[in-house]
Chains A and B, each alone.
Chain A
Amino acid sequence: MSLNDLLVNLNLIMPITILTAWACVLLLVDLFIPKERKGITALLAALGLLVALALVISRAGVATSAFNGMIMIDGFATFMSVIFLFSGLAGIAVAYDYLIRSGIERGEYYVLLLFSIVGMMLMAAAADLIMVFLALELLSIPLYVLAGIAVPRPDSEEAALKYFLLGAFASGFFLYGTALVYGATGSTALTEIVSATTSGGVNLSFLVIGAGLILVGLGFKVAVVPFHMWTPDVYQGAPSSVTAFMAVGAKAAGFAALLRIFVLAFPPLAMDLTPVLWALAAFTMIIGNVIAIAQRNIKRMLAYSSIAHAGYIMMALVPYGQGNVAADTVASALFYLLAYMLTSFAAWAVVIALEHNMGEGRDTDGLSLEDYSGLGQKQPALAAAMTVAMLSFIGIPPTLGFVGKFYLLRTVIEGGFPGLALIGLLTSLVSAYYYLRVVVYMYMRDGEPVVRREPWLYFTALATAVGVVVLSIFSEPLFNWASQAVLKLI
């Protein structure tokens, strides 16, 4: 590959190139920014994200591949990139003041965030298993560090270590699965895997086991049962702003890779993999939702909720192998990820607004359910945002969560899995219990909640909550957009 080729290819993936370069530059620039003015780094990082977002949007509709087919820039990658870049912006917005008040404001925070987003964008664009692996590591390693960035706070360290050890463990499975698939088909490129499989002559048991291991590795990232165990601990221990970002970004990236790999490379294995996916989705929905009921720490509750939502999205993946439903599979999953992103940030922004350091004359950290008592009276705007988020999580109209769940269930039923849809429906009914409990605490208990008045937090909470409601009314074009993203993929 000549230098010229390299430049051409870098140009093809310009948003990613720019973001990578910008993150490297920022790492250096940050050295010259005084310690008490790290806000500048945050602004610069946000600027980089905005530029990348503008580039992504301006290139929407372009479908091309780069680096010998390792990377595919298409509607799917564009849609996911928009989600990642929005999560990045929201992640910076919720972190900005939170880091200062927690005493962990460091310039690296934002740089690591940028690198992680680069990893996510590559993940959505990757069309080769090795590329997926690299992207997976590129997004994970910064997250390990971010989870532990509150060092020497023991919780944060513990979360980072657990996340790191299990993450590396999972990577091992993913990599071994990749090796087996390579061994079975002679290639790691998704399109060649499928063509080799259909033309016959492959070692099917290697291929199926490899696919299973890949599912395991990515299942860890998106936190499906039984690979979910790290989630509550890490979500609870990591600084809340990191958790917020991780809960959306990492999960979305994991699903991006799952969707692309499964829909593109593994349709011939659908007969084998569908029951596995079915079981994973069912267990994830049941266990995530049920254990969440027992939680009184809001971060931990949201962690289980995120597990449950991974189950819902997983549900859409179950009929991935049926040609006529596959498009809906991806479209409804993408749509749900978008809904989940907005809803999740609305909830996490409120959580962060209420969190405070213990020992500042208070005996709580603002993270237990009781701390939400009376929020409805004291901070009606935040309480409203939280209520919207909870309703959206349950899937009650008029919220995006409702529309998303509707599309998911429709896909599952179209695919011929009414039983799974029923489980999804019943578990969302169960989930109403713990989500509405938050609402009950906010509006029906008296209390003196301590709330930070931080503009960016408020903005994020309210903007996302409004988005959740307003977009639900105009959900049709959004879903069409998601569907169009799929057409190129299939």
Chain B
Amino acid sequence: MWLSEAVSSGPQFFYLVPLVVLFPVIGLLVNTAFGGRMSEKAIGWLASAAAGLSFVVAVLLGISLLSYPEGAVVPIVDWITIGELNINWGFQVDTLSVTMMLVVAGVGTLIHIYSIGYMHDDVRFQGDPGRYQRFFVFMNLFIAMMMILVSADNYLMLFVGWEGVGLCSYLLIGFWYDKGENGIGNAVAGKKAFIANRIGDFGFILAAFIMFWVFGTFEFNAVFELAPEVASLFPAAIVAITLLMLVGVTGKSAQIPLFVWLPDAMAGPTPVSALIHAATMVTAGVYLITRSAALYNLVPQVQNIVALVGAATALFAATIAVGQFDIKKVLAYSTISQLGFMVAAVGMGAYVAGMFHLVTHAFFKALLFLSAGSVILGLEHAHHHMEHNSQLKLPMDENDLHFDPQDMRNMGGLRNRMKISFWVYLIGAIALTGIPPLAGFWSKDEILTDAANFNPLAYWMMLAAAFLTAFYMGRQILMVWFGKPRSLPAEHANESPPIITVPLIILAALAATGGALNLPMWHTFTHWLEDSLGHLHAAEFSLQIAGLSSFLVLAAIFLAWLLYGRKYQAMQELPPDKRPDDPLRPILGPVFNALNHKWWVDELYWTIIINPYVSLAHFLADVVDWRFWHDWFHDTVIVGGYNKLTQVLSIQIDLGVIDAVANKLGDSVKRAAAKWRVIETGYVRNYALSFFIGVVLILGYLILR
């Protein structure tokens, strides 16, 4: 029905939208069913093709939106109908959702292709090539779930996708579940992510309950239409819904206080970090707030809270990033910080700026993660090569037995060995720090401009965060790529193959030019999103703010160069026992220690939440449940009583009465059978007689009745 309608109304492709979910589902089903018999290449390319086809569909949808900017809601099935609750699985096609689809499918496809090469090596280093298939199944599942999330036309369906991506995240963080600290480190990281997300999801669910209670529906359009009326009658409901949604956002998008899971999530394979924990899934919270703009606009006080949470996260995470040595951890904290920027932006009502930063961030952060993966792979290759080469065996003893290919202290000077990776990394880093004219500059500048206008406190926090961003990225670039190699594998690292570098180059091009989406003169992206979000204000480019932030960025880079370009290299000449591992350590002293230990947030959570919780659980399990409930109440009272009762029932009643009757009945039936079979004499005439008696009886009844 909807298909024919859609086709007849003109050259638009909205009816294709179910395919964005269907293609990855097909991909994962085929890979699940037949992956065992397919080559690695076939598995990888099939999964990539599934993601790529989704991208093609998203592009077609985008083209349709150019001529039909109002979009469409495409229903496919009635999902739940209970009483007055009627939930369809429908697809919301508008500029906002299609923007997300394009990012998810586009970046996703590139990362799929990258993974073909990356996972080929990774599964071999980890010693279980069989998991190659599983990886791509999970990846396709993730794409499908993310598509459900962004294309939903109601909050419940969105929640399905929200949970689905959480599941994929869990599965992929724990992908090497038997590796990590004590053999369970990765599994623990997965669990941590899941639990942190669950706390957030709980908020989301409560928000949904209240929404149904107040609005009686989950559908976006209906809710947004009713919202102003509800806000005037019952403002507390909107405040509760938006605040509880913010709880969900802090979980999914790693904001204070639930951000702690994201750094640990780096236990997953690097493409996962790039796709799920940098480019797409973690931005779902930003999407949720943007989607719910009509609700948040009604409650400025909540918006203020959102903005401050985002800005505080941006600053807080940026400080921690300065003190990390793990190349991926730095990027993880950077991601948290950048998500803080986005959340702050959407909190201030600067939805375009937030979404704009979401898009550019997807480009350059995916790029940074993937090139970091390329570096890690290069070092691992070299390390592996040396372990199995007798000539190089001797010098190996100098190194730790457990060589960590992700530790930046083991790197240095890689720019000569891995040229392509270096250049794309550099582009990504510049884009992130916000040096014009690369993508990050434009989007971050827009956020800062909006903040300066609406929320000065957030503005100054974010300005500080931007400074720190430039500093830690400068630190990372200098530690990884410049100077002299600080380990043997770093000396022998080699560039990765084209299947890895080509996606990097494409992403680098996007990271460099992505800012063109919403240049201050044209506001292309603003007008694009206006079709979904109603009228939006466009931040005017302010030379003063741009100049200030650019100056801070350059200053930070200069500072980084002083410390890591010069001082760090000079430190290398000192003997190992006198040389600090980071030039900041002697300067900042205990503060650096705090940064390095992430301000002891994890420890804090352990002390005030987890340990008391575990003690309580032990108490409940051991004393209340086991000793009282099980030993006394259950065993003594119930089981004892029940045993007595069953004894009475089984001996007196069952054996004495029921069995006796049943046996008698059974015996009598058997006796009847033996007796009655004699009627069958075998004589035809007897049979005819029986027949005739039957006739007589029937006719007799019929006549005499």
Contacts and interface: CB of A to CB of B under 8 A. Distances in A.
Assess A/B contact in the complex (Cβ within 8 A).
yes
Interface string A199-235: 0000001001100110110011000011101101100
B691 A170 contact: yes
B701 A173 contact: no
A166 B673 contact: no
B680 A212 contact: no
Nearest to B686: A229
Interface in B659-705: 666, 669-670, 672-674, 676-677, 679-680, 682, 684, 686-688, 690-691, 693-695, 698-699, 701-703, 705
A272 B705 contact: yes
A399 to B, nearest CB: 24
B673 A169 contact: no
B703 A209 contact: yes
Given A209-B702, A232-B680, A272-B705, A220 B691 contact: yes
Given A209-B702, A276-B698, A233 B693 contact: no
A161 B702 contact: no
A293 interface: yes
A294 B677 contact: yes
Size range of the interface on B? 20 to 34
A270 interface: no
A229 B699 contact: no
B670 A230 contact: no
Given A212-B702, A226-B694, A291-B677, A233 B682 contact: yes
A205 B695 contact: no
A23 to B, nearest CB: 30
Contacts of A165: 684, 688
Among B686, B687, B693, the one with the most A-chain Cβ atoms within 10 Å of its Cβ is: B687
A290 interface: yes
A294 B670 CA distance: 7
A276 B680 CA distance: 23
B702 A208 contact: yes
Given A169-B691, A233-B682, A293 B669 contact: yes
B138 to A, nearest CB: 32
B698 A229 contact: no
A232 B666 CA distance: 23
B684 A162 contact: yes
A430 interface: yes
Nearest to B705: A272
Contact of A229 (B669, B673, B687): B687
A321 to B, nearest CB: 15
Nearest to A229: B687
B682 to A, nearest CB: 7
A230 B348 CA distance: 93
A275 interface: yes
Contacts, number: 79
A369 interface: no
B697 to A, nearest CB: 8
Contact of A226 (B666, B672, B693, B703): B693
Interface in A278-328: 287, 290-295
A262 to B, nearest CB: 14
Contacts of A290: 669, 672-673, 676
Contacts of B693: 226
Given A173-B695, A213-B695, A229 B672 contact: no
B687 A291 contact: no
Contacts of A233: 680, 682
Contact of A272 (B673, B682, B702): B702
A433 B676 CA distance: 17
A266 B206 CA distance: 66
A272 B682 CA distance: 33
Contacts of A272: 702, 705
A276 B684 contact: no
Nearest to A434: B673
A340 B285 CA distance: 60
B558 to A, nearest CB: 74
B702 A229 contact: no
Given A166-B684, A229-B686, A290-B672, A276 B691 contact: no
Contacts of B682: 233
A205 B698 contact: no
A272 B690 CA distance: 22
Interface string A354-373: 00000000000000000000
Contacts of B701: 275-276
Contacts of A170: 691
A295 B673 CA distance: 9
A331 B135 CA distance: 52
A247 B672 CA distance: 25
Contacts of A226: 690-691, 693-694
A277 to B, nearest CB: 10
A272 B705 CA distance: 8
A435 to B, nearest CB: 14
A216 B680 contact: no
A215 B698 contact: yes
A177 B254 CA distance: 88
A162 B699 contact: no
Interface of B: 666, 669-670, 672-674, 676-677, 679-680, 682, 684, 686-688, 690-691, 693-695, 698-699, 701-703, 705
Given A229-B679, A293-B670, 4 more contacts: A165-B684, A209-B702, A216-B691, A216-B698
17 contacts: A165-B688, A212-B698, A216-B691, A216-B694, A219-B694, A227-B691, A229-B679, A229-B691, A230-B687, A276-B698, A290-B673, A291-B676, A291-B677, A293-B670, A294-B674, A294-B676, A295-B677
Interface of A: 161-162, 165-166, 169-170, 173, 205, 208-209, 212-213, 215-216, 219-220, 225-227, 229-230, 232-233, 272-273, 275-276, 287, 290-295, 430, 433
5 tightest A-B contacts by CB? A229-B687, A226-B694, A294-B673, A293-B673, A294-B677
